[in-house]
Copies of this chain bind each other. A is one copy, B any other.
Amino acid sequence: MQAMETLAHLLGSSQPVLDKGFVRLIDVMGDDTRIVQAARVSYGEGTKTVREDAALIDYLMRHRHTSPFEMVEFTFHIKAPILVIRQWFRHRTASVNEISARYSVMKDEFFLPSPAELRAQSNKNKQVGEGGLPEEAAHQAHTRIAESQQRAYQEYQALLELGVARELAREVLPVGLYSEFYWKQNLHNLLHFLRLRLDWHAQAEIRAYAEAVAHFVRQAVPLAWTSFEEHVLGGTQLSRSELEALRPLLDQDKVRLALKNAGLSTSRIQEALDKLFPQG
């Protein structure tokens, strides 16, 4: 199968991220076919002849039948700054092995954004950085960060030379330091991670890692990825008030026609109409 060849090609390959980081694919268990097999255990013989694989996967995705997606598992090797890792590990469903700074002397590797990559604080949104800094400020900031990292590493080395235990000497290392970890996760939880971390609210640095992860997932499970883009990444959630406000502005027949012209199947058109114009 083509999927298997693609996969063999991907295993062990690596995507560079930020200035010194990477996402490397270690292993994958299962593919689109496994999702279908697992779903068919649930639905028994009943569905075997009716649905094609892509249609079944799309059905599972849009109706949030999530368990078949748990049947596919990915293992990555990641190198990222601690500040990114701290956000990453808030996702608690993955298995993780990270370098221990108690066992090992950490290397002199820090995330150093270029002047152009230094974002200004947004005025509108407290959470995010947004837009560049003035050129002069960007260069000053860049230089300050670079020097601060060098000094911190010198302090770390000095403390080690004084005999301070590694587990304490690391005290002075900043969260821009690179670390590495193995990360293993099922596809369902992985897609949840990607939904949150590909979003523009996510910090640009972890978004870059999410895109590198997506690079592999997209190729390993192309059918699942297509449905994920259609229903999750490219979709949106409307609230009850929003729906009620929109409804009088929409003509049911025109909506039906537009959905048909968009190429949706009869059953998906009916589902969409049921969502937009629910019946008492």
Using a CB–CB distance below 8 Å, which chain A residues touch chain B? 27-30, 34, 37-39, 41-47, 62-64, 67-68, 70-71, 73, 75, 77, 81-83, 86, 89-90, 92-93, 95-105, 110-111, 113, 118-122, 126-130, 133-134, 137, 140-141, 144-145, 148-149, 151-152, 155, 158-160, 162-168, 170-176, 180-182, 184, 186, 196, 201, 203, 229-231, 233-246, 248-251, 254-255, 258-259, 261-264, 272, 275-276
State whether B170 touches A83 (Cβ < 8 A).
Answer: yes
Q: Provide the bound-state CA to CA distance between A184 and B69, in Å.
A: 11
If A73-B29, A231-B237 touch, whether A155 touches B166 (CB-CB below 8 Å) is no
A245 with B231, Cβ < 8 A, contacts A73-B73, A184-B73 known? no
Instruction: Check A127/B155 contact, CB under 8 A, given A73-B29, A175-B173, A259-B245.
Output: no
Contact of A239 among B90, B118, B234 (CB under 8 A): B234
Contact status B103-A171, CB under 8 Å: no
- Taking a contact as CB atoms closer than 8 A, the residue among B39, B99, B160 that contacts A41 in the complex is B99
Please judge, given known A-B contacts A242-B272, A243-B236, whether A141 and B159 are in contact too, CB under 8 Å: yes
Which of chain B's residues has its CB closest to A274's CB? B236
Which of A62, A101, A104 has the largest count of B CB atoms less than 10 A from its CB? Answer: A104
Docked-complex contact A41 and B180, CB < 8 angstroms: yes
Checking B63, B64, B174, B238 against A152 with a beta-carbon cut-off of 8 angstroms, the contacting residue is B174
Q: Check if B262 sits within 8 Å of A241, measured CB to CB.
A: yes
Is B129 within 8 A of A39, CB to CB? no
> Which residues of the other chain, B, contact A140 by a CB distance below 8 angstroms?
162
A49 to B104, CA, bound (A): 14
B249 with A264: CB separation less than 8 A: no
Q: How far is the CA of A70 from the CA of B93 in the complex (A)?
A: 12
Known: A41-B77, A81-B171, A230-B239; 4 extra A-B contacts, CB below 8 A, are A63-B201, A120-B165, A144-B172, A233-B240
In whole angstroms, how far apart are the Cα atoms of A248 and B255 in the complex? 10
Contacts of A239 in B (CB 8 A): 62, 230-231, 234-235
